[in-house]
Amino acid sequence: MKFDVELERVLSKASMKGKTVILTTLNDAWAEPGSVFDLFLESFQIGIETKKLLNNLVIISMDQKAHARCLAIHPHCYALTTEGLDSSTEAPFMSEDYLKMMWRRIEFLNTVLQMGYSFVFTDADIMWLRNPFPRFYPRVDFQIACDRYYGNPEDKNNRPNGGFTYVRSNPRTILFYRFWFMSRKTYPGKHDQDVLNKIKKDRVLEKIELTMRFLDTAYFGGFCERSKDFNKVCTMHANCCYGLGTKVHDLKIVLEDWKNYTSLPPNERASASPSWRAPQNCRT
């Protein structure tokens, strides 16, 4: 199978040992200075054990403007073109462009798996506050964050959020992503996350023997369900939140709260019990 030479070059340069990369997608609206992308990169700079992970982060730009911005400030950029898609403005949630972009992403991630790369996929509206790798389950094929987590990582009733996944490249995950992508035809007009909710209990996943775990919101939180313990939190996602300005406003508060916490002396950190001031505007 022939793969894009440029994609292989970018992935191999960014790869950590074990052929693993961190991936995010970026469009023009999120790439504007002072917007989501800048906050995303800042979180890596101020997170605990996260700065080094910037070396492994590949930005997948969905349009020329986003690609130009990436090239100006980050070493690993790849331009993904999607025919008939205008991502220069924020695609309204569930619009035709939004759905096209989401499904193009699933198709692209399957290509990455076929190239032998495992990945952490992260939306850019997720703040990386601690290195998440120690919190992943070893030897599991597919791990995903949740909007709602009910206490058991194997419970298929957990409500997954496609904005944060850790996927190991192997024949099972390649088949799974192919099945996920094909299922868009079974459930037309639905986005990848809704379709995942439909197929997560499907017998096909048992047949291919895919192992799946749902990540605890105590470590991988968001505005739907916050990580309450600052001493545990790895990521904070502006989920359950619509509109770019709203997200930016509340994510800035998340980073401020985090800076206040990390500026405490280590002995005070453990005993402090800070709480998040966000979401604020995302509630409305």
Domains of the chain, residue spans: 5-237
Provide the pLDDT for residue 87: 47
User: 126 — phi, psi (to 5°)?
Assistant: -110, 125
**pLDDT of 18:** 93
Which amino acid, residue 256? E
DSSP state at residue 74:
-
Got the DSSP string for 131-183?
--GGGSPTT-SEEEEEEE--S-TT-TTSEEEEEEEEE--SHHHHHHHHHHHHH
CA 250 to chain centre: 18
Pick the CATH number of 5-237 from 1.10.10.10, 3.90.550.10, 2.30.30.100, 3.40.50.300: 3.90.550.10
Q: Which residue has the tokens 């999607």?
A: 82
Whether 91 has a pLDDT exceeding 70, the answer reads: no
Stretch 235-256: mean pLDDT: 97
Average pLDDT over residues 57-64: 94
Reported as a single tens digit per residue, the pLDDT across 138-150 is: 999 999 999 999 9
Beta bridge partners of 23: 58, 121
Q: Could you give the CA distance from residue 126 to residue 129 in angstroms, rounded to a whole number?
A: 9
Sign of CA dihedral 133, 256, 231, 215: negative
Residue 160: asked if its preceding bond is cis (omega within 30°), the reply is no
Please tell me the pTM assigned to this model. 0.94
Q: Which residues of 220-258 are buried (b: 16+ CB within 10 A; e: fewer)?
A: bbbbbbbbeebeebbbbbbbebeebebbbbbbebbbebb
Q: Is 54 helix (H, G, I), strand (E, B) or coil?
A: helix
Whether residue 251 has pLDDT greater than 50:
yes
